[in-house]
Copies of this chain bind each other. A is one copy, B any other.
Amino acid sequence: MSGRFETPDQVEAAFYAAFETMDPELMAAVWDSAQDALCVHPGGDLLQGHERIVASWQAIFTDARRPAIIYRLLDRKQDGELAMHLVEERIGARGEDAPSNRILATNVYRRTVDGWRMCGHHASLPLATGKPGGTDPAQRLH
8 Å CB contact of A136 from B44, B88, B126, B133: B44
**Residue pair A134, B84 in contact (C-beta under 8 Å):** no
The segment out of A5-13, A23-31, A70-78 that lies at the interface is A70-78
**In this complex, which of A44, A48, A60, A88 has the most chain B Cβ atoms within 10 angstroms of its Cβ?**
A44
**Residue pair B84, A136 in contact (C-beta under 8 Å):** no
8 Å CB contact of A134 from B44, B120, B131: B44
**In this complex, which of A46, A89, A126 has the most chain B Cβ atoms within 10 angstroms of its Cβ?**
A46
**Residue pair B75, A139 in contact (C-beta under 8 Å):** no
Residues from 1 to 44 in A contacting B, C-beta threshold 8 Å: 36, 38, 40-44
What residue of chain B has the Cβ atom nearest to residue A37's Cβ?
A: B75
Does A123 interact with chain B (Cβ within 8 Å)? yes
What 0/1 readout, one digit per residue, does chain A (41-81) give for beta carbons within 8 Å of chain B? 11111111000000000001001100000000011011111
